[in-house]
Amino acid sequence: MKADATTPGSMPGQVAARSSIGPVRLAATMAAATVAATSSGEAVLLGVLLGLAAADIGSAVVAVAALLALAARWGSTSLDAIAGAQAVLGLGGAVGPAAAAAATWCAAAALVVAAPAGWPAVAFGAAAALGAAGPAPGGPVDVVVRVGATAVGVALALVAGSVLPRRPAQVVGIVLATAALGLAVAS
């Protein structure tokens, strides 16, 4: 933990509580979470931002692969297009073909499982929600679905990041992301 500021009035030797992530990771986390929550941007860019937020090569690989699987599932790397397609055709995890829906769930699960501990998990959860149930807001129902899915995704990612052991979880994430890529290409 990086702790370099002394709180005024604190006991000698005590240092202030500060978030353990550095400024670059925090900026990347904020950027990735915003891009995922607003569905504005591009899949590769979001994957790189997630990798920067995680500051871990395993999580970065999982993020890029899972988002590319989502892009292949919808036929576009534009996050606007992915959200718009879900608003028109149905949620990514609920609309067929079956292989494509399975690819969506695999990609979302990969993002949740490979989420790092701490605040960067929020961005991973938001990205997973974007893929599984992230329609563009066309009405109140879409907004409720999107917000609910994001809340669930973020909660799951936070839990997974703090509970699951890091390396085995990343291996599982890589397997899931690879399966998602294969299913998306095959669908």
Residues making contact with other proteins (CB under 8 A): 1-3, 5, 7, 13-28, 30-35, 38, 40-46, 48-49, 51-57, 60-61, 64, 68, 71-72, 75-81, 116-120, 161, 166
Minimum Å distance from CB 120 to other proteins?
7
Minimum Å distance from CB 167 to other proteins?
9
d(CA 163, CA 157): 10
Minimum Å distance from CB 3 to other proteins?
6
| Helix pair angle (43-54, 23-38), 10° resolution | 150
DSSP state at residue 163: H
* 33 vs 132, beta carbon nearer other proteins: 33
* 17 vs 89, beta carbon nearer other proteins: 17
Handedness of CA 35, 38, 41, 47 (dihedral sign): positive
Minimum Å distance from CB 153 to other proteins?
18
Q: How far is CA 131 from the centre of its chain?
A: 9
* 57 vs 141, beta carbon nearer other proteins: 57
Q: Is 78 helix (H, G, I), strand (E, B) or coil?
A: strand
Pick the closest to residue 49 from 79, 20, 72 (CA basis): 79
